[in-house]
Copies of this chain bind each other. A is one copy, B any other.
Amino acid sequence: MGTTEAWKKMREVCVLGVGLHKFGRFPDESIGDLGREAILAAFADAGCGPKDIQAAFGGRVFTPNTTAMRLVNEVFQTGILIDNVEKACATSSTAVRLATWAIGAGLYDVCLCVGVEKMERGLVGGVPAGAESRASYGQLMGLGIMPAEYALRARRHMYEYGSTREMFAQVAVKSHKNGALNPYAQYQTPVTLEEVLNARMIADPLTLYQCSPSTDGATAVVLCAREVAHKFTGRPITIAGWASGTPAYSASGVSGDVQEGYIERIAREAYERASVGPSDIQVAQVHDAFSAGEIFAIEDLGFAKPGEGGRFVWEGKADINGKVAINTDGGLESRGHPQGATGIAMLAEIVRQLRGEAGLRQVPGNPKVGLQHNVGVGGCNIFIYKK
């Protein structure tokens, strides 16, 4: 029996409630302060409380040690199983996947997941945290520096398909336009195409506005078995499918964020498990750590053919009222990217959209199917949600 068949035999799992601490810079708040606010917000949204939670999962990328336990214990201490996971930028979506497995298998009815980060200012990258001190050949050549990796693939994309600087820049214009409608976003100011193009160059063709910032923030979600959701007041959204995999990291020195080829395979598995295809997706949260990433994702996920992702964005097809509304909350670039918290932030936005609760940034037409694409050096998690 394959994984997809096993998944389809598991109990239906749904998102019951989501909660965020605003993203931004909070030097006076501790990790515990950030996490507490997110957890309490998720409880309020789910209509549940500490006594309902049977297990918890979560994490942080920078100094992850027993983070989930520390965050949960800030709010309640009931002795439940609390597992700490770390998967670089895909950390909190990994926590969600593990909770989904546990609930789907019947081990628990209601679980809490939480992600948090406080980030130092400046570039993330170089020899990855925790790696051996000896750098790989790729790293010595400048790979492993995130903007450089994205920029390299972007340059190749321009050469191969004729994508333009303007197309990559347009991603940032769209993201900041959406982020301006999101009160939880780190940056809530729209920018023009000219401003994006003329901003400080980080890694050609990516300028400052096309790079996700360093961010503090926290996110939490309550998941439950569909069969117990009626006990709570939260408005459940079903986790219809998921898939996960890793890139061939060591050999190439190129991290999982930008490696070609492997995301398509994982997306196919997720679509199969959810019994949908790319054309069914109405809202998507994709991993735009750098603007080019959104264009790669549009192609990798099958929203556009290879080479046509840039045009897809340029023509407005990724806008809130476009063909697939992408990164409606501002994405990593405008909403912010507190690495351990990002995965659940993506989930939260899709839940808000599918519930019709996204306010000024609500996707029209009562969307029913959403997709989340969360990648990092630790691999990729894709989730598909259904109303």
Give residues in A with beta carbon < 8 Å to B: 1, 3, 5-7, 9-10, 30-32, 54, 59-61, 63-67, 69-70, 72-74, 77, 79-88, 94, 98, 101-102, 104-108, 128-132, 134, 244-251, 262, 265, 377-379
CB distance from A229 to the nearest CB of B (A): 16
Asked if residues A66 and B106 are in contact (CB atoms below 8 Å), the reply is no
Known A-B contacts A66-B128, A83-B87; the reply to A77 vs B30 at CB < 8 A is no
Asked if residues B79 and A247 are in contact (CB atoms below 8 Å), the reply is yes
Bound state CA distance, A10 and B87, in angstroms?
27
Known A-B contacts A66-B86, A132-B31, A248-B79; the reply to A104 vs B105 at CB < 8 A is yes
Provide the residues of chain B in CB contact with A70, threshold 8 Å. Answer: 130-131, 249-250
Provide the residues of chain B in CB contact with A80, threshold 8 Å. Answer: 245-246
Q: List 23 A-B contacts (CB under 8 A).
A: A5-B106, A30-B132, A30-B134, A59-B86, A65-B129, A66-B128, A66-B130, A66-B378, A69-B379, A70-B249, A77-B248, A77-B249, A79-B245, A79-B246, A81-B244, A82-B378, A82-B379, A83-B94, A83-B244, A84-B85, A84-B87, A84-B378, A101-B102
Most buried by B among A69, A81, A134, A251: A81
Asked if residues B87 and A86 are in contact (CB atoms below 8 Å), the reply is no
CB distance from A85 to the nearest CB of B (A): 5
Provide the residues of chain B in CB contact with A77, threshold 8 Å. Answer: 246, 248-251
Provide the residues of chain B in CB contact with A74, threshold 8 Å. Answer: 250
Give which listed residue, B86, B88, B245, contacts A81 with CB less than 8 A. Answer: B245
CB distance from A145 to the nearest CB of B (A): 16
CB distance from A146 to the nearest CB of B (A): 14
Give which listed residue, B63, B94, B107, B132, contacts A130 with CB less than 8 A. Answer: B63
Provide the residues of chain B in CB contact with A87, threshold 8 Å. Answer: 66, 83-84
CB distance from A224 to the nearest CB of B (A): 14
